[in-house]
A and B are shown apart, each in its own frame.
Chain A
Amino acid sequence: MSESRLSEPTDAGISASEIMETVPGALIILDINLNIKFANRAFYQTFRTCSSETEGCHIYELGNRQWDIPALRTLLENVIPNRKSVEGFEVEHDFPFIGHRTMLVNARKIVRRGQHGSILLAIDDVSEERAARDDSKRAWQLTQSIVDTIRDPLVVLDADMTIVKSNRAFLTIFAISEAETRGRRVSELGQHQWDVPALRELMERVLPENKPIESFEIEDNFPGLGRRVFNLNARKISQPGNHSHRMLLVFEDITDRKQREQDVQCLTNEISHRIKNNLQLIVGLINFEARSTDQPNAQGYRAMQARIMAIAQLYDLISQSSRGGAISVGSYLGEIAKTISASLLGESSNIKIEVDSERLDIDPDRAVPFGLLVNELATNAIKHAFPNGVGSIHLRVEQVDRQIELTVTDDGIGMRGRNPIGLPEKRGFDYVTIFVRQLGGVILPSRPAPTGTTVRISLPLLMEGSTN
């Protein structure tokens, strides 16, 4: 096929050379002796050469023999003579100017009647794809070696939920071989302990919705392990270099942690049981004393009983809200308000307690006197401020510089015109003074108000660095 023939229009009115120039991949045509008859623009651009250096040149001589590549020789001298066409023949070579290249070569023998044949070579430069694939492979190998060092058992799942990789910890703990896990679903493993519909449903949402699974707990008997509790966490992972996604499923054995939590709970229950029984005994004894004494003293006994009940309730609130650490003042006040409402007011009461607190914490040691202080002030208000049974009490805590300010306000009858000495609430206020002193605070002068009573108390921060 001569260049003039290449320029002749085909039946479609387009010449072969025009087609070859339009194709984005590199194309060359060799004669039977492997001399280059034609190369397209893409070939020149990819391999940084030109037609004057190329056409008529023997392929192996091209560019200071840089195309004299053993793999290409194999293709041209051994494969092509025996076959009409070859596809995807991979040739790797270091070119002096353009560096290392990986090419996929498609070759086709073209024979026209009465002419010597030609060879059409389509050369696809796949260097970047191959480099990306190699990078991906290396990254995946690195990931696998990291996965193997992780002490928690884990598996990597493919999009179809089958296991691609299990780490060493998984294989060891569940006494299973890599071959037994690969290609199987997690739900099929062992004695189907992981075959839980809720888990399956969550797993099916991890990849399409990118919705991780956090702490899905499964407790079961595992062969060789006995009764165990596992926390399952799963998330979507993207494999570098391609667009496929996989799922990392980690099995955290929390059996010992759960056991410790249960032990702590048992101990807490036991201590709580004893404390409350002792308080019950004290309350019961006070009850008897109150019944065999005259009325003014009996009132004192009943007030004492109420304060012991308050301590018991605060103990519960502290156990529930802190679990041994700091207690949020806001939620603590909220619980105190609920408890006072339930024990002194009832659901149908027209006296309401509102809580408003900044985000502050209190340590458990100081929570009891603080709770008793709030309890005393709120109880005083409930008992004395609302003779007609209607009103509201506002409990507020805010930080003012390095102090916190507790304000208890009611919209009741107030203290104006009444001498507090000798009033029943005087005794309660004595307790307030004691609790304030215990907390290292001071009672601030109240601002005059047309109605109601306001008590403002300044206290040191209830916990160092407590502001959130």
Chain B
Amino acid sequence: MAVILIVEDDVFIRDLAELIIQEAGHETLLASDVAEALLILNTPQTIDLLFTDIYLKKLVNGGLELAQHAIKIRPSLPVLYTTGNIISEDMKKLFVKFSKFLSKPYTLLQLRESFQVLLKN
């Protein structure tokens, strides 16, 4: 079991992701934007994985920026990025070291597999 911080601006998607992840046996923490996520990241709360949407409330690269901040606070934190938008090569260059990308829409199976890969490392 791991603690996963879900950062997603769409409330339905966030709740659905929470249900899926909890049913997979993980604990969840929720944030809707970069600021909320950073507040949680700055607490002593255990966080094993950051699962973030890239496009966050008008910030086209919000999730990418959040992950950059997150690894300054927690250097070994693995990150799973997701977005429905097309990922350019320039955006890929901004991915943190321990990370994976999952395109929306994703299935439960894809989500579980991605968590497994990232948490195993």
> Which A residues form the contact surface with B (CB < 8 A)?
266, 269, 272-273, 275-277, 279-285, 287-288, 305, 308-309, 312-313, 316, 319-320
- Candidates A276, A283, A287; contact of B83 at CB < 8 Å: A276
A273 x B84 contact (CB < 8 A): yes
B85 x A283 contact (CB < 8 A): no
Contacts A269-B60, A281-B16 given; does A276 touch B84 at CB 8 Å: yes
Is B44 at the interface (CB under 8 A from chain A)?
Answer: no
The A interface is mostly helix, strand or loop, or mixed, namely helix
- Candidates B10, B19, B20, B103; contact of A277 at CB < 8 Å: B10
Residue of A nearest to B10 (CB): A277
For the complex formed, measure the closest distance between the CB of B95 and the CB atoms of chain A, giving whole angstroms: 18
B83 x A309 contact (CB < 8 A): no
For the complex formed, measure the closest distance between the CB of A152 and the CB atoms of chain B, giving whole angstroms: 29
Residues of chain A lying within 8 A (CB to CB) of residue B60: 266, 269
For the complex formed, measure the closest distance between the CB of A120 and the CB atoms of chain B, giving whole angstroms: 78
B84 x A281 contact (CB < 8 A): no
A79 vs B16: C-alpha distance when bound (angstroms): 106
**Can you offer 22 A-B residue contacts whose CB atoms are under 8 A?**
A269-B85, A273-B83, A273-B85, A275-B84, A276-B105, A277-B10, A277-B84, A280-B13, A280-B84, A280-B106, A282-B105, A283-B106, A284-B13, A284-B17, A284-B105, A285-B16, A287-B107, A288-B19, A308-B105, A309-B105, A312-B84, A316-B103
Contacts A273-B55, A287-B20 given; does A281 touch B12 at CB 8 Å: yes
A462 vs B104: C-alpha distance when bound (angstroms): 29
- Candidates B10, B19, B86, B106; contact of A272 at CB < 8 Å: B86
A276 vs B84: C-alpha distance when bound (angstroms): 5
Is B108 at the interface (CB under 8 A from chain A)?
Answer: yes
Residues of chain A lying within 8 A (CB to CB) of residue B13: 277, 280-281, 284
A312 vs B17: C-alpha distance when bound (angstroms): 18
- Candidates B16, B17, B104, B108; contact of A276 at CB < 8 Å: B104
Residues of chain B lying within 8 A (CB to CB) of residue A316: 86, 103
For the complex formed, measure the closest distance between the CB of A367 and the CB atoms of chain B, giving whole angstroms: 16
Interface membership of chain B positions 1-37, coded 1 if the CB is closer than 8 angstroms to chain A and 0 otherwise? 0000000001011001101100000000000000000
Residues of chain B lying within 8 A (CB to CB) of residue A282: 105
A277 vs B85: C-alpha distance when bound (angstroms): 10
Residue of A nearest to B58 (CB): A270
Residues of chain B lying within 8 A (CB to CB) of residue A275: 84
A184 vs B6: C-alpha distance when bound (angstroms): 59
A222 vs B106: C-alpha distance when bound (angstroms): 46
A279 vs B55: C-alpha distance when bound (angstroms): 16
For the complex formed, measure the closest distance between the CB of A131 and the CB atoms of chain B, giving whole angstroms: 59
For the complex formed, measure the closest distance between the CB of A258 and the CB atoms of chain B, giving whole angstroms: 16
A319 x B107 contact (CB < 8 A): no
Residue of B nearest to A308 (CB): B105
For the complex formed, measure the closest distance between the CB of A455 and the CB atoms of chain B, giving whole angstroms: 27
Residues of chain A lying within 8 A (CB to CB) of residue B12: 277, 281
**Max chain A Cβ within 10 angstroms of own Cβ: one of B12, B20, B85, B105:** B105
Residues of chain A lying within 8 A (CB to CB) of residue B106: 280, 283
Residues of chain B lying within 8 A (CB to CB) of residue A280: 13, 16, 84, 104-106
Contacts A280-B84, A319-B86 given; does A287 touch B104 at CB 8 Å: no
A266 vs B58: C-alpha distance when bound (angstroms): 9
